[in-house]
Structure 1
Amino acid sequence: MKIKLLCLSLLMFGICQAQIELVPNPCDINSGTITFKYGESGDYSIFDPMSDPNLYLYTGLQTDVDPLTWDYHDDFTDVNTMIPLTYDAILGYYVATFNPATRTYLEEPMLNSTTITQGTEVFDWYFLVTVGDQSRQSADLMGSDYGFGSAILSVENYDLIDNIKVGNGEITFKSPAQYDISVYDILGKNVVNQQLNISNSLTHNFQLQSNGIYLVKISDGINSRTVKMLKY
């Protein structure tokens, strides 16, 4: 297995979190396309781009209990396998978009090129920032410090939302199951944690106190999905 290239202390994580943002937050391997923002506050102390408009994210996934290994990872010798991180002059910071579930990785130990197989449990998403010639790079960073959570990858997950509708502070179920529901406000604060046993079609009101945009994480024990919900 590939040993992580560098170590980063928890203290540094706490200091530097504001420089990096994952959207949506929270997110996991089943969240679909994720937006990665770097330097939105103008603070580049995690990694100084030195006016380079094109950086890259070297990424890996921890899929076993060993947090020191990346079991699926990009080819560090080839930036074409990495995620482009480009400076947006209008926004004023670096941006990348990617779907961690559908990307192609090198799989340990044979280093074959593959996507993640259905049913794989992903404990964390790791990354570092590097330049095109890889002469400079940041320390290793953990996605879980920026809102990425563990989940089991399932292609069926992308159909989960077809059986569920959310809107105006409510969620409606079409299929019987036991669901774990978490709701987060736009600042990432967890405002609802509930377990619902659904036997028939049911609409449930979260009784949210404030109008606005929320993120709803839905899991039936096998599949999970995070979706936006507007309360008005």
Structure 2
Amino acid sequence: MMKLRKLIKISLILTALSGCATHSDVVEWRPYKDIDGSIQHISFLEWETWATVDGKQQKSRSVEVSKAENFGDTKVRQPLGNLQALRTAENDFMGVLFIHNAKGLDIYDKENIQTLAKAKSFEFYEFGRFRLTHAKFSAPKGICQDFNRKTGVNLLMTTNYYPENSFTDFYTALINVNLQRNNAPREIGYTPSFTGNDKNLQQQIHQQEQQNGKGLAIANIKEKASILFNIICH
């Protein structure tokens, strides 16, 4: 189960999925396969800010997540939102984004949670553990209204797994499932695919998928369902 935690463990998250730049560095773009089957790219831009709180200077760190927009041979940053953290059942942290109507939402704001609860769809990004997920939650009448009924919430997502934190070779699990509060999923759509041409890395990820792919998919679905159970529709 995932639970909210206000302490943002940025350094832990980015250690598990590198590619973060400061404002003066060259941006590194991490490739991933999206839910429409296309290859997209994500970057992380980190900065520090200082503020006076109760007469004392305090430093905070923020990480902006951007998606690449292609203009010819040039990639231009299209900001998605600022990285936040969720604490997992394993007592570690994943970096996340919640996006509604193309706007990143602060998941620690109660009004934003209510917005997602009533929304007919929202997007979710997750980073860490050498994986990158993009998911879309959708429901005809509203996320929580349909989650509590037999209609359910449709979850379409890709999770990309990177061996040795590779920027070239990875495998992608495409998952399509309906989530309901009171019923386990009847069917799980699961399709793996592979990107890259490094012989050793490809052998590694094919073996990883064969041994653990379906089990990871089920665990991944449980994690995303816990977002509805514990955060959005609790």
TM-score, normalised to structure 2's length? 0.28
TM-score, normalised to structure 1's length? 0.28
Larger proportion of helix: 2
Higher relative contact order (CA 8 A, sep 6+): 1
